[in-house]
A and B are shown apart, each in its own frame.
Chain A
Amino acid sequence: MSTATSPNGTQPKQSFTSAASVYVNERTSLAGFVKELGRKAFPDHWSFLLGEVALFSFVVVLITGTFLTFFFQASMAEVHYDGSYVPLKGVEMSVAMASTLDISFDVRGGLFVRQMHHWAALLFIAGIGLHMLRIFFTGAFRKPRELNWVVGFVMFILAMGEGFTGYSLPDDLLSGNGLRIIDGMIKGMPLIGTWTSFLLFGGEFPGTAIVGRLYTLHILLLPALLVALVAIHLLYVVVHKHTQYAAPGKTQLNAVGPPILPTYAAKAGGFFFIVFGVLALIASFFTINPIWNYGPYDPSPVSAGTQPDWYIGFADGALRLIPPGWEFVWLDRTWSFNILVPLIVLGGFIVMVLIYPFIEAWVTGDKREHHIADRPRNNPTRTAIGAAGVTFYAGLWAAASSDILATHFSLTMEGVIHALQATVIVGPFIAYFIAKRVCIALQKKDREIVLHGFESGRIVKLPGGEFIEVHQPLDEYDRWKLVSYDSYQPLMLRPNARGKITVGQRVRAAVSRWFFEDRIAPVTRAELEAAHALHHAPAPAGELEAAQSSQH
């Protein structure tokens, strides 16, 4: 090795890298970090890649976005377009729109970077969403990770804000229309609406200020917050160490996986380039946001079937599902419940997402650290709640395409809206019920397998003439994955020290019963022994016995 120093202290010739690392270390104490972190074990699983997809697309968004800032001009001054795209030549538009067209048609590779930026933004938010679902369904938000759930949640909201502000920047027809809807929603808010809109737009809609203002948010404030939160988020991962799935040898007291250096670093670093490459590939072939087809913003024309970016869809859908007539004049003021109700319902939904970890912790009363991620089936109520939430979101999301659904499937607009209203209200209950039953059925099957082994596919004939399939018992390693999960009992109501049962306790007991009353407990040793005894008892001598013992 080139770093070897001879025992008498004289330094034989050093390679450049070792000299450089000595130089850096003596000025930064880097060796300490490397020693601390370099050989940390990093648990590995495909579902852990979702967060990396989000992180890496964010990096791509930062890189491509920075390139765009060198060409984009966030001004709403009116110009006559004079670039390469002939159909729009001479058309009056804002400088923002014209510069975006220039990025697309007059800067070599500009369209590529612009499309990569937009695709990466879409993947970024999708990545966060899927990552959140992974965390939710595996219970990885439990102590000590509740606060990191909150950090992730805030990033999800900020990411949607980034997306929306970015979508509004080119000042084309669609982006202006999106802003028009935001303006209308803000105006519909009681008390503060009119003035909030006035302040936001710097006067009447659309004004000449909004693009510049959103630009500051889009490239300065929101990215700075996001970068800071990403740093906190990852710091938490280091502090907590990653969760891992139950497997032989893995415990609440260890973290098992390949070391950060070299294996994990190579895999994650490679994965960054793969995500980057996928985005480059998509951007080479698939147009996104062809603003030249939409034209500059004008409050008058609009084309049917236009869509916001996917992550705004749920909010747009919520607006569509409100039945006619939800607006009143009362006390000489206008109350726009057709706007307030979607805002409140979505707000409530989002807040539920935010506080779910704290609710579950309150229900279980479990104060221990949890480092083994659940299999979704092993917490049927949580999984069912998640399924209900996903269904609710999906219903709203589909509603954002109600017109497209109606025309594609030749349905009436009214029919589609009513069906989706039903989906959003009833769907979550159905999804809850189905998911819960499926989880419990899977848990029962797990118990079956632990107690009686799995079907080997081998049929033997008993001396009595009947045919049975030989069940092969699990080895202890496979068994461990099926029996090592937390199971909770419903809370028993007990009077507190002063002999009272508080309302809080009653509520908690009720919720706890709802969560855990039909739980399936993991197989115990005694149960397994009993099951074995049962197997062996009636087994007559001969073939079956032989078949079984050969398995052991």
Chain B
Amino acid sequence: MAQDDHSGAELAAADSSHAAHDSVASPGTALITTDGFENPGFPPHRPRVTDEDPKRAKRAQRTVYTLFYLSILGSVWAVAAYMLFPIEGNDVDAVRLNNMFIGLGATLALFGIGFGAVHWAKSVMVDVELADERHPVGGSPETRAAAAQVFADADRESGFSRRSVIRNSLIGALIAFPLPAVVLFRGFAPQDQNPVELLNHTMWKQGTRLALDPSGAPIKASDVTIGSAFHVIPEGLADLEHGKLEEKAKAAVLLMRLEPSELNELPERASWSYDGIVAYSKICTHVGCPVALYEQHTHHLLCPCHQSQFDVANHCEVIFGPAKRPLPQLPIAVDDEGYLVAQSDFTEPVGPSFWERN
């Protein structure tokens, strides 16, 4: 049996034009027509199949409790799966099974409750619709007047408006009191370091050998064949006790060898390469991802983050993408034993641009 709570007549009278309590509010440029249609009121209630057919109603009830029982089954299943599918040492498949069977049990447990409850609401519970009256959100004029009176009383009793010196000094104090808390944030970074200073230097020094990333083995110039590319770190980086990643984030280098004839070097950097071997910072000048993809035929370096491309043959100029500056070049030479070494640190800061960089 469906019970309908709305008294049709009363509701039919109210149309959707913005009604009584709102009549004072301006409609702005809304078109107010006097010739609109009347809200016809609620249509006649339509019973559901489960309201009319006792057999269907019975069946719906059965479905609901079956779903709830299935949910219990699912919970039991998940608990059993927890025990039956242990993660045996070093077996990735065991992890997968454990995950899947616990998950399926939990899914059944949740779906059982969920679909059961929704089905109960839709097919078994009495199908009523209610209509609540809305009241203006701002409250009645009496309420508003009472609230204004409260503020007026509070103001009079405290003298908040009248005693302006007291009030203003309080406002001043309230503005000032969080300042110490802001200052405390200075402690977020070490007091004795200057970021600009740090950004201007890397681990590379005159004579630092170029070493393979990650093994740390130094590289002989003779091992660098034409067309090859090496991921390089400064020798000694792997042994650092502290700050390994911070140093690596600045010092990572790509080493490539081109036909010397293909290299178009700037005159002032003619001595920075060795027999077609060049070393460039691997840290993108856009926002700092490692520029790790080298295309041998074109001599292009591609940054996987935002697809900036750098032309190694042309001192790593940007040929596409949002980066602006070429990758900084590391001047290299060969030591007595034939190992590649740095001539100095980079001559400019590596990595993303920053305000104080110039």
B residues 180-233 with Cβ under 8 Å of A?
A: 185-186, 188-190, 193, 195-196, 198-199, 213-214, 231, 233
Cβ-defined contact, A187 with B353, below 8 A: yes
A254 lies within 8 A of B290 (CB): no
Which of A6-14, A67-75, A474-482, A544-552 faces chain B? A474-482
Q: How far is the CB of A544 from chain B (nearest CB, A)?
A: 26
With A181-B288, A516-B29 known as contacts, the answer to whether A281 contacts B103 (CB < 8 A) is yes
Q: Does B252 contact A (CB under 8 A)?
A: yes
Q: Say whether, besides A263-B128, A319-B322, A483 and B195 are in contact (CB < 8 Å).
A: no
Name B43's closest neighbour in chain A (CB-CB). Answer: A477
On whether the beta carbons of B322 and A273 are closer than 8 Å, the reply is no
Contact with A along B20-37 (1 / 0, CB 8 A): 111001111111010111
Separation of A198 and B354 alpha carbons in the complex (Å): 12
- Complex: A274 Cα to B15 Cα, angstroms: 38
CB–CB B16/A365 < 8 A = no
Q: Which of A72-112 contact B (CB under 8 A)?
A: 84-86, 104-106, 108-109, 111-112
Residues in B whose Cβ lies below 8 Å from that of A111: 95, 98-99
Q: Which of A40, A277, A324, A476 contacts B322 (CB 8 A)?
A: A324
Partner of A270, one of B89, B115, B358: B115
For B37-61 the 0/1 string (1 means CB < 8 A from A) is 1011111000000000000000000
Q: Is A469 close to B, CB under 8 A?
A: no
B75-131 contacts to A (CB < 8 Å): 82, 85-87, 89-92, 95, 98-100, 102-104, 106-107, 109-111, 113-122, 125, 128-131
Instruction: Give the complex CA separation of A105 and B17 in angstroms.
Output: 62
How far is A217 from B292 in the complex, measured between Cα atoms in Å? 32
A250 & B26 in contact (Cβ 8 Å cutoff): no
Greatest chain B CB density within 10 A among A316, A369, A371, A526 is at A369
Complex contact A284–B131 (CB within 8 A): no
CB distance from A483 to the nearest CB of B (A): 5
User: Which residue in chain B gives the minimum CB-CB distance to A324?
Assistant: B318
Inter-chain CA distance A203–B36, complex, in Å, is 69
* Complex Cα gap A332–B233 (Å): 31
Whether B98 and A300, one on each chain, are in contact in the complex, defined by CB atoms closer than 8 angstroms, is no
Q: How many A-B residue pairs have CB under 8 A?
A: 409
Chain B residues with CB below 8 A from A320, complex form: 306-307, 321-322
Q: Kindly state whether residue A463 has any CB partner on chain B within 8 Å.
A: no
Interface presence of A457 (CB below 8 A): no
Judged by a CB distance under 8 angstroms, whether A383 is at the interface is: no
- The distance from the CB of B211 to the nearest CB of chain A, in whole angstroms, is 12
B113 contacts which of A185, A270, A319 (Cβ < 8 Å)?
A: A270
Q: Which of A365-417 contact B (CB under 8 A)?
A: 365-372, 402-403, 413-414, 417
Measured in the bound complex, the distance between the Cα atoms of B111 and A194 in whole Å is: 51
Distance (whole angstroms) from the CB of B322 to the closest CB of chain A: 4
CA distance A402 to B307 in the complex (A): 9
Chain A interface, number of residues (Cβ within 8 angstroms):
138
A112–B323 CB distance below 8 A? no
Docked complex Cα distance between A285 and B354 (Å): 44
Closest chain B residue, CB of each to CB of A316? B306
- Of the candidate stretches B5-13, B159-167, B335-343, the one touching chain A is B5-13
B157 within 8 A of partner (CB) = no
Question: What A residues does B188 contact at CB under 8 A?
Answer: 199-200, 202, 209
Bound-state Cα–Cα, A313 to B84, Å: 41
Nearest B residue to A292, CB-CB: B92
Which residues on B sit within 8 Å (CB–CB) of A414?
Answer: 320
4 additional contacts, CB 8 Å, given A249-B39, A267-B117, A304-B304? Answer: A252-B16, A252-B19, A271-B114, A364-B29
12 A-B residue pairings within 8 Å (CB atoms): A183-B287, A251-B15, A252-B16, A254-B14, A263-B121, A277-B114, A298-B245, A302-B304, A306-B304, A321-B322, A327-B324, A417-B320
Closest CB pairs A-B (n = 10): A284-B103, A184-B287, A365-B28, A270-B117, A273-B114, A249-B42, A277-B110, A327-B324, A274-B114, A184-B352
Chain A interface residues toward B at CB < 8 A: 39-41, 84-86, 104-106, 108-109, 111-112, 115, 144, 177, 180-181, 183-185, 187-195, 197-207, 209, 239-241, 246, 248-259, 262-264, 266-267, 269-277, 280-281, 283-285, 297-306, 316, 319-327, 329, 332-334, 336, 338-339, 364-372, 402-403, 413-414, 417, 476-477, 479-480, 483-484, 486-491, 512, 516, 521-526
